Structure 1
Amino acid sequence: MNLLNNALIQIPEPGNEPVYDYSPGSSERIILEAALAEAAAQTIEIPLIIGGKEITTGDLGRVVMPHDHKHLLANFHKAGTEEVRMAIDTAVSTQAEWQSLRWEERCAIFLKAADLLSQKYRFLINAGSMLSTSKNVLQAEIDAACELIDFLRFNVYFAQQIYREQPKSSPGIWNYMQYRPLEGFVFAVTPFNFTAIAGNLPTAPAIMGNCVVWKPASSCVYTPYLFMKILEEAGLPDGVINFIPGSGAKVGEICLADPHLAGIHFTGSTAVFQKMWKTVGENIEKYESYPRIVGETGGKDFVFVHSSADVEQVVTALIRGAFEYQGQKCSAASRAYIPKSLWPEVRKGLERGYEKITMGPPTDFTHLVNAVIDRSAFTSITKYIDHAKNQPDAEVIIGGGYDDSVGYFIEPTIILAQDPRFKTMVEEIFGPVLTVYVYEDATYEETLELCDESTPYALTGAIFARRREAVSLALKKLENTAGNFYINDKPTGSVVGQQPFGGGRASGTNDKAGSFTNLLRWVSPRTIKETFVAPTDFSYPFMKTK
């Protein structure tokens, strides 16, 4: 007997988690510094977690500090074929029990996890984020702590919002809607750059009653493992989320071929997502139902400046938008269109700003810029910089240096391109590289159209202008160029519940993480009509002769 059947329980209305500033001498800074020292002093072992059991395979990957790549933080076990199949079977067999819990009971687990993150484990997960992914203290705080807390609290509130949405009824008839979880398992594939995204992708479907197979990025296993342990402490039943680090190709091949695949929740590269979608299409006849495919992928995000813009605001937005977390955000400012009349002032402002930027390990809180995630990223990004250095129609005007002897450090780099379709102006780089194109003031409208047509992506973008008609024209011309559009602000930093995040075109399915629309993807509604007194005569009035 479920004792809660006689209660209409209300989810507390959430607010965004306050961001600590970690100013010198503050208590939170002192505690975090101790957590950093403790985490750096040990090497942990990260197992798979399947059905609540920790499993070791002996096939190990390494977690190192990107800013000190000889420093080993952890060894993690990689899933093989047997473990992936075990995770799938466990998720499928657990679902009936998980969805039988009242939705409020499921939500209580995630609300508790949010409070554990906010209080008991805030500094541990921030320290893990700083050390394992080379984030400065602010970037770790707004991601690994605040945004992940927000996802948990807002998502359970959105779940209640969905369940409350019910159809109208007519006299003698009661209509209602059941929001069932999907049949099968959800495959969550998470990226390296945000612990919050890594935590949201498996938990959003789980809140709605689904069971999940979670494959974190091999370059971000440390904080997802910490979060998995927090979920266990919060009371998540065994088998609801199954944690299987490993080769993306190996894990993906098995999961995408399984007939129980019910959904994919993905954040990562456009190429990988397109390949996954193609694989689903090739296997479509095998599945027990059509899988839901939700993805947030690449971006070539822009800042477009009108001649009426405030130069200091533009400079600040470009530096923060392009270089925070080394440009390793899918929303990072990667291309800028600057009017010729403002370019001399903007360039001087960027040069002055660059002189103030320092780069180094995140344990030194004075640094804005830290290391990129790994050697593969370092190699890919520096190839773009070298290409620009060797082309006649482009010039590296700021930065351009790099060094991987201790950590994977790349200077904030600004390229001035003569061609608006220059390689670094149109291709995703995912690093601290901003390319600027200077346009004639009189060609504002034509250049807006050029911005729209230059890349296949449509994730984030910004317009800077004082004149409202210029903003209005940009909103019109760039309507389909960005799923998140910013007016007089940098194109990064979306907040759960305030700016639901996602883009279209080659940037994803635009299912808006941080809103109820994402959670709708993880349910299969059933309409129920109950007639209280059913008719007993099949004939209708029109059939009568008189």
Structure 2
Amino acid sequence: MLEEEFRNRSDIGVTLQAYLRDSKQDLHDLISWAKQRGTPITIRLVKGAYWDQETIKSEQNHWPQPVYNQKSATDVNYEEMTQLLLENHQYLYAAIGSHNVRSQARAIAIAETLKVPSRAFEMQVLYGMGDQLAKALVKTGHRVRVYAPYGNLLPGMAYLIRRLLENTANSSFLRQNLEERPIEDLIASPTLSGNTERIAQKESFVNVPDTDYSREVLRDKAEKALAKVKDSLGKTYLPLINGEYVQTDVIVESVNPSKSSEVVGQIGLISVSQAEQALNAAREAFKDWKKTPATERARIIRKAGDLMEERRHELSAWICVEVGKVLQQADAEVSEAIDFCRYYADEMERLDKGYNYDVAGETNRYHYQPRGIALVISPWNFPFAISTGMTVAALVTGNCTLLKPAETSTVIAAKIAEILVDAGIPKGVFQLVPGKGSKVGAYMVNHPDVHLIAFTGSREVGCRIYADAAILQPGQKHLKRVIAEMGGKNAIIVDESSDLDQAVAGAVFSAFGYSGQKCSAASRIIVLDPVYDAFLERFVEATKSLNVGATDQPSTQVGPVIDATAQKRILEYIEIAKQESTLALQMEAPDNGFYVGPTIFGDVLPNHTIAQEEIFGPVVAVMRVKSFAEALGVANGTDYALTGGLYSRSPEHIEQAQKEFEVGNLYINRTITGAIVSRQPFGGFKLSGVGSKAGGPDYLLQFLEPRHISENIQRQGFAPIEGNE
């Protein structure tokens, strides 16, 4: 708006909501900007329309409350901002939006005192809600704008109902006026009383908050961390075996998917003989680690979580650069990793207490012990959160752990190793063992000393691990436990009662966040026939607004896919889909990295390839169905059962989905990605995986062996053993 082409335009405006704590500072900033610009713009001043949403969102994210929690505090701020606005009427055109007679009268009094021209500001009221007030204002010679919602009936009705609820609240001026309160009370100055802070609902486990990038100081920290990481690219990262970083014969490069010519790090891959050394070291270390008190193990893991918090911005930058994830989503991954550390530490201390089933004359104690050696095979799409979660679960339960990360995300795994070592993990207890999955990975999976395998990755590899682990090897005296998360073909159902604005926004985020490379991502949108055409049109248009590009750019919303192999595979799926269904959108993408533009297909049938196979990219199948029962049948008609979503305002449909939608995590009227530790334990069934949900109360049990000890404690005398005195 400072450019010559737009500088003289006065037909633009900004709405400020006085219930926001920082709204007055925003107004000060706008005044400074308007003075620089010259031509006034409109500032529409309102009390605020989404208090519930603002407070709930901040509580969910553990952020400070952005709004005032008393209406009187909002009223005080509103009047102070009205004064400020009218004092600067030559730079900003004030639009005073309120149905509160006191607020409008206060504005008039300020304007008259300051001798503000009557054409330099206006009053605003909602049609049908402030008619008498509007007439009174007009009679006093002031400009009044009566506004009304415009558009389709259902969204308009939803808006009006929300406004009716606001204006019939006990604290509302309109409500109090209808109750015939004394005029002196109605027009009295707003005053604050008591505690103005909202008491948040208590949680059994408090998640760490994500970074609020709306705060400039945090954006600056993120930018500095990104610059520092870019200055550190190209270093060599070696395996950690028995507390030492060891040289390897094979070195591979990890590259930036956003800029494939940029080497993030040189990765040393272990050999089979080095894998054997690591297993031997783990076997020796287990003798002491299994005896380490659970409280001490938990202390080390909590310390690791604290170190992650200290290095949050740096770690987010590494995730951004090595696997092509935008900073905001990389930051959320760091939060998840910290939560895993703290939650699993708490859970281990809870489980360590065991259970007491004593009866008269007999003690019965149920407790847990570690299994032995755990092999963690982690994915590249959540290289920090999932790798950390599986690793610290194995460690805090007393198992010695070998982490074999995906080759394309080994630099990030090396950062996990640094943190665990700094937190105090003894040598041999944790080891970083990057290597070729087909050789080194297979060797460790089949090794008789491995007790447990925790895997996240493709269905093909997961099923192979599951089968290999079932084979009893020579010298093996236990059956291996396998925990495997193997992906999904996740669907969102949109029925005819849904809020399409909400459904479209949720579908876009769920489908194209991290370029569709989440096991929880939406790859199918199943839409009821009455709203299919409207949904598809709006879904396509909303997707067009996404910025595709390098993930180190703040404006980017969709980055690259992980590597050239993934890019080629996804493009092949797109060509198959073009033969089977109708291409609704294929966005262009940069050519200097591994990019695939967001792609949408319509008229997709349940048996089409892109409706059945996991693509793991920014490709979405939109499917038309005639009934809700058919929608559920289509949603359940794949081999997977990981996540699913429903957008509906029908209690009947919501209840039916809760009973019949075959998914491990069902999300209703919200996005289907971004499970939060403890709040939304994550995991599926069918061919989506085997094992209990990560971040849930059952997860650590998989890493433990339960034992029961029963002792008769009736008097039996005391018999010392000769030689043991």
The verdict on a shared fold, with TM-score over 0.5 as the criterion, is: yes
Q: What is the deviation of 1:351?
A: 2.6
Quote the Cα distance in structure 1 between the aligned partners of 2:646 and 2:702: 31
Amino acid aligned to 1:444: F
Give the match for residue 4 of structure 1.
Answer: none
Deviates more, 1:282-291 or 1:331-340: 282-291
Q: Please, which of 617, 637, 647 is the counterpart of residue 431 of structure 1?
A: 617
Quote the Cα distance in structure 1 between the aligned partners of 2:441 and 2:715: 50
Give the match for residue 269 of structure 2.
Answer: 78
Kept after mapping to 1: 8 A contact 2:241/2:433: yes
Amino acid aligned to 1:191: P
Please state if 1:394 is matched with 2:560. Answer: no
Quote the Cα distance in structure 2 between the aligned partners of 1:465 and 1:305: 7
Amino acid aligned to 2:229: A
Q: What is the deviation of 1:284?
A: 5.4
What's the CA shift string for 1:277-306, capped at 9, x where partnerless? 111223356522111111111200010111
Once the two structures are superposed, the pairs formed by residues 157-236 of structure 1 within 5 Å of their partners are 157-182=346-371, 184-194=372-382, 195-236=384-425
Q: Please, which of 250, 262, 279 is the counterpart of residue 59 of structure 1?
A: 250
Kept after mapping to 1: 8 A contact 2:482/2:691: no
Please state if 1:20 is matched with 2:206. Answer: no
Q: Relative to structure 1, is the Cα distance of residues 82 and 418 closer, same or farther in structure 2, using a 3 angstrom cutoff? A: closer
Q: What is the deviation of 1:168?
A: 1.5
Identity %: 30
Quote the Cα distance in structure 1 between the aligned partners of 2:228 and 2:604: 50
Q: Please, which of 409, 414, 425 is the counterpart of residue 600 of structure 2?
A: 414
Kept after mapping to 1: 8 A contact 2:253/2:263: yes
Deviates more, 1:256-265 or 1:423-432: 256-265
Amino acid aligned to 2:621: T
Once the two structures are superposed, the pairs formed by residues 286-305 of structure 1 within 5 Å of their partners are 286-305=475-494
Quote the Cα distance in structure 1 between the aligned partners of 2:537 and 2:586: 14
**TM-score when scaled to structure 1?**
0.91
Give the match for residue 444 of structure 1.
Answer: 628
Please state if 1:467 is matched with 2:467. Answer: no
Q: What is the deviation of 1:250?
A: 1.2
Quote the Cα distance in structure 1 between the aligned partners of 2:247 and 2:479: 33
Deviates more, 1:282-291 or 1:48-57: 282-291
Once the two structures are superposed, the pairs formed by residues 234-245 of structure 1 within 5 Å of their partners are 234-245=423-434
Q: What is the deviation of 1:199?
A: 1.1
Amino acid aligned to 1:41: D
Quote the Cα distance in structure 1 between the aligned partners of 2:588 and 2:568: 13
Give the match for residue 309 of structure 1.
Answer: 498
Give the match for residue 529 of structure 1.
Answer: 710
Q: What is the deviation of 1:535?
A: 6.7
The runs of 5 or more residues in structure 1 that have no matched partner are 1-11, 537-546
Amino acid aligned to 1:525: P
What's the CA shift string for 1:361-383, capped at 9, x where partnerless? 11111111011111111011111
Deviates more, 1:286-295 or 1:206-215: 286-295
Quote the Cα distance in structure 1 between the aligned partners of 2:634 and 2:446: 41
Larger radius of gyration: 2
Amino acid aligned to 2:230: A
**TM-score when scaled to structure 2?**
0.69
Q: State the secondary structure of the residue aligned to 2:444.
A: helix
Q: State the secondary structure of the residue aligned to 2:610.
A: helix
Quote the Cα distance in structure 2 between the aligned partners of 1:215 and 1:417: 42
Q: What is the deviation of 1:400?
A: 5.1
What's the CA shift string for 1:65-114, capped at 9, x where partnerless? 00000001100100101110011111111011112211101110111111
Q: What is the deviation of 1:348?
A: 2.6
What's the CA shift string for 1:429-455, capped at 9, x where partnerless? 001111011112xx2213312321x21
Kept after mapping to 2: 8 A contact 1:382/1:402: no
Q: State the secondary structure of the residue aligned to 2:409.
A: coil
What's the CA shift string for 1:290-329, capped at 9, x where partnerless? 1111111120001011111110111011100000000100
Quote the Cα distance in structure 1 between the aligned partners of 2:366 and 2:655: 41
Kept after mapping to 2: 8 A contact 1:161/1:516: no
Q: State the secondary structure of the residue aligned to 2:401.
A: strand
Quote the Cα distance in structure 2 between the aligned partners of 1:527 and 1:152: 28
Kept after mapping to 1: 8 A contact 2:512/2:598: yes
Kept after mapping to 2: 8 A contact 1:483/1:510: no
What's the CA shift string for 1:212-253, capped at 9, x where partnerless? 111000111111111110111111111111101110111222
Give the match for residue 500 of structure 1.
Answer: 681
Kept after mapping to 2: 8 A contact 1:162/1:516: no
Quote the Cα distance in structure 2 between the aligned partners of 1:385 and 1:339: 24
Runs of 4+ in 1 over 2 A off after TM superposition: 281-287, 400-403
Q: State the secondary structure of the residue aligned to 2:698.
A: helix
Kept after mapping to 2: 8 A contact 1:158/1:515: no
Q: State the secondary structure of the residue aligned to 1:219.
A: helix
Quote the Cα distance in structure 2 between the aligned partners of 1:87 and 1:33: 38
Q: What is the deviation of 1:387?
A: 1.3
Deviates more, 1:499-508 or 1:245-254: 245-254
Kept after mapping to 2: 8 A contact 1:174/1:529: yes
Please state if 1:341 is matched with 2:549. Answer: no
Give the match for residue 113 of structure 1.
Answer: 304
Corresponding pairs, count: 513
Quote the Cα distance in structure 2 between the aligned partners of 1:282 and 1:227: 31
Amino acid aligned to 1:30: D
Quote the Cα distance in structure 1 between the aligned partners of 2:482 and 2:263: 36
Q: What is the deviation of 1:130?
A: 0.4
Quote the Cα distance in structure 2 between the aligned partners of 1:223 and 1:170: 52
Quote the Cα distance in structure 2 between the aligned partners of 1:316 and 1:375: 29
Deviates more, 1:246-255 or 1:66-75: 246-255
Quote the Cα distance in structure 1 between the aligned partners of 2:462 and 2:570: 21
Kept after mapping to 2: 8 A contact 1:159/1:516: no
Q: What is the deviation of 1:179?
A: 0.8
Amino acid aligned to 1:283: L
Q: State the secondary structure of the residue aligned to 2:646.
A: strand
Quote the Cα distance in structure 1 between the aligned partners of 2:247 and 2:696: 37
Quote the Cα distance in structure 1 between the aligned partners of 2:539 and 2:634: 24
Q: What is the deviation of 1:352?
A: 2.5
Give the match for residue 385 of structure 1.
Answer: 574
What's the CA shift string for 1:252-291, capped at 9, x where partnerless? 2211222111001010011101111111223356522111
The runs of 5 or more residues in structure 2 that have no matched partner are 1-202, 718-725
Quote the Cα distance in structure 1 between the aligned partners of 2:630 and 2:326: 39
Q: Relative to structure 1, is the Cα distance of residues 83 and 321 closer, same or farther in structure 2, using a 3 angstrom cutoff? A: same
Q: Please, which of 62, 78, 93 is the counterpart of residue 284 of structure 2?
A: 93
Quote the Cα distance in structure 2 between the aligned partners of 1:157 and 1:85: 33
Give the match for residue 312 of structure 2.
Answer: 122
Give the match for residue 278 of structure 1.
Answer: 467
Give the match for residue 456 of structure 2.
Answer: 267
Kept after mapping to 1: 8 A contact 2:236/2:266: yes
Q: Relative to structure 1, is the Cα distance of residues 489 and 284 closer, same or farther in structure 2, using a 3 angstrom cutoff? A: farther
Q: What is the deviation of 1:29?
A: 1.5
Quote the Cα distance in structure 2 between the aligned partners of 1:476 and 1:257: 39
Please state if 1:142 is matched with 2:332. Answer: yes
Kept after mapping to 2: 8 A contact 1:327/1:430: yes
What's the CA shift string for 1:41-60, capped at 9, x where partnerless? 23211000011100111311
Q: State the secondary structure of the residue aligned to 1:16.
A: coil
What's the CA shift string for 1:122-172, capped at 9, x where partnerless? 1111110000011111110000x1000000000011112222340321012
Of structures 1 and 2, the one with the larger relative CO (CA 8 A, separation 6+) is 1
Quote the Cα distance in structure 1 between the aligned partners of 2:412 and 2:617: 21
Q: Relative to structure 1, is the Cα distance of residues 250 and 418 closer, same or farther in structure 2, using a 3 angstrom cutoff? A: closer
Q: What is the deviation of 1:178?
A: 2.7
Quote the Cα distance in structure 2 between the aligned partners of 1:447 and 1:152: 39
